[in-house]
Amino acid sequence: MELTPDLQEDFDIVVRRNPGEAEFHQAVREVLESLGPVVSKRPEYGEMGIIPRICEPNKQIIFKVNWQDDRGRVHTNRGFRVQFNSALGPYKGGLRFHPSVYLGIIKFLGFEQIFKNALTGMPIGGGKGGSDFDPKGKSDNEIMRFCQSFMTELAGHIGHDIDVPAGDIGVGTREIGYMFGQYKKLTGRYESGVLTGKGLDWGGSRARTEATGYGTVFFAEEMLKLTGESFDGKKVVVSGSGNVALYALEKVNQLGGTVVAMSDSSGYIVDEKGIDLAQMQELKETRRGRIGEYAEANASARFVPQGMIWDVPCEIALPCATQNELNIGGARALIANGCTLVAEGANMPSTPDAIRAFRANDVRFAPGKAANAGGVATSALEMQQNASRDSWSFEHTEERLHDIMVGIHERCWATAEEYGAPGDYVLGANIAGFIRMADTMMALGVI
Ligand SMILES: NC(=O)c1ccc[n+]([C@@H]2O[C@H](COP(=O)([O-])OP(=O)(O)OC[C@H]3O[C@@H](n4cnc5c(N)ncnc54)[C@H](O)[C@@H]3O)[C@@H](O)[C@H]2O)c1
């Protein structure tokens, strides 16, 4: 899609200033493509330089992380924290440990995060961090030593009123625990609100583990309701088998749908009988095994080591693994097999040409910054519980999450309609998130 000349100029500056950061350019372009109608309606945003200010992170911190493996060998990784925008509250966003991590990945995720957090309506700014450390195959002690060393470098930059990291790919409750322990030791303070995704015994929130996957399904449920449909009896494909994917599976099951395929980076499994949650949790959360083992244990399932999970016929697709995992080939396969709804549990899993194909073929499409916002929203609920030294029930927290997702859906839907693009959740999410941030930045002055 073409950009208006002013937005093109803003985008050219982003590309020039951040060379080689393809994912960051992709995330910025996708947002700018939606903003044409807003900046022409509200020229004051242009006069106050809101867009260039939003595209430039407040701070980008890069640090060295040395650690020793179980045989005493020394390794050096790189750590990142990008504090993108704090107009609406302390920086908030996860930490990713994966060998593909470099500054461009963290910036794309941080940029997405500021719009997502704005959309939730909660008092949280946007940030993201991580490391090129590969947790795969590491012992528990190696993970602990890495997390401690990472936090030794990060601790001086975060705090419950400054920046509150959480989990993402490769970072779950175990890693948050080791990092929280090290932060406590370094600072001498029990500052519960400095990290979210904590264990329930030490300040975590019920339903946080489930929140991103549940929230994605709640969002898709709202989309279905508009045409009088539900998950009941629907065939669903969920990519990934990590935190987001597992709890999307659980909620789809609860709503009467059947998840027939899931994946990890080694391939995918198909089980027309429906994938069993308890077995998958045991395999992925407890044993941390490879997905092919599920097919070895279940006669009704088969493992496909190569190829594309999107070839599996389904009515609903929930990409919940990683960025750019659903390309034009995947989109064409989904469309040809009759898929009518795609909701992103992962961040930016669909490539721009895949999204264009969904639009052109009337496939309802929910972008991650709206559909997966339940995770960060529940992190904000965890911060609320920490601040009041309270602990809510699972039911209460899930109900809050559900209400938040219904609210985000409504906001995206109404905004898309207001700007003349009914049903365009990409445009609705980008504009609704942008306006809340832009108005706040105007109110706070040029700082
Ligand atoms: N955890 C959260 O609360 C949260 C919130 C919002 C968005 N997200 C996004 O959801 C996605 C998944 O995060 P997660 O927390 O479930 O992480 P996770 O580490 O628990 O799981 C990641 C999953 O993706 C799979 N995967 C990674 N690279 C892959 C590849 N190249 N091909 C196929 N599968 C691959 C892994 O095997 C694993 O199953 C990410 O895009 C993340 O940014 C997570």
**With 90 as the cut, is the pLDDT of residue 433 above it?**
yes
Q: Residues marked as binding for substrate?
A: 92, 113, 116, 167, 379
* Residues noted as catalytic: 128
pLDDT band per the 50, 70, 90 thresholds, residue 260: very high
167-192 residue pLDDT tens: 999 999 999 999 999 999 999 999 99
Same CATH fold, 209-371 and 59-189?
yes
Superfamily per CATH, domain 209-371: NAD(P)-binding Rossmann-like Domain (3.40.50.720)
16-75 residue pLDDT tens: 999 999 999 999 999 999 999 999 999 999 999 999 999 999 999 999 999 999 999 999
Quote the CA–CA distance of 286 and 246 in Å, as a whole number: 13
Quote the CA–CA distance of 102 and 93 in Å, as a whole number: 16
Residue 415 corresponds to which amino acid?
T
* Ligand 1 midpoint to CA 45 (Å): 35
- Enumerate the domain spans of the chain: 5-55, 59-189, 209-371
Ligand 1 site residues (CB inside 6 A) read 167-170, 212, 240-245, 263-265, 320-322, 325, 345-347, 372, 375
The pLDDT score that the predictor gives to residue 3 is: 96
**With 90 as the cut, is the pLDDT of residue 336 above it?**
yes
Domain covering 59-189: architecture: 3-Layer(aba) Sandwich (3.40)
* Ligand 1 midpoint to CA 212 (Å): 11
| pTM score over 0.90 | yes
**With 90 as the cut, is the pLDDT of residue 237 above it?**
yes
Q: Residues marked as binding for NAD(+)?
A: 212, 243
Mean pLDDT over 400-428 rounds to 98
Percent of the chain having pLDDT more than 70?
Answer: 100
The pLDDT score that the predictor gives to residue 11 is: 98
Quote the CA–CA distance of 246 and 223 in Å, as a whole number: 21
Ligand 1 atom nearest 372 alpha carbon: 6
386-399 residue pLDDT tens: 999 999 999 999 99
Quote the CA–CA distance of 49 and 43 in Å, as a whole number: 10
* Ligand 1 midpoint to CA 321 (Å): 4
Mean pLDDT over 121-138 rounds to 98
Q: 239: Cβ–Cβ under 8 A, 6 or more apart, which residues?
A: 245, 261, 262, 263, 268, 309, 310, 317, 318, 319, 320, 321, 325, 326, 346, 349
The pLDDT score that the predictor gives to residue 18 is: 98
**With 90 as the cut, is the pLDDT of residue 9 above it?**
yes
Mean pLDDT over 245-266 rounds to 98
Mean pLDDT over 288-303 rounds to 97
**With 90 as the cut, is the pLDDT of residue 1 above it?**
no
ipTM strictly over 0.90? Answer: yes
Tokens of 355: 């999204």
The pLDDT score that the predictor gives to residue 83 is: 98
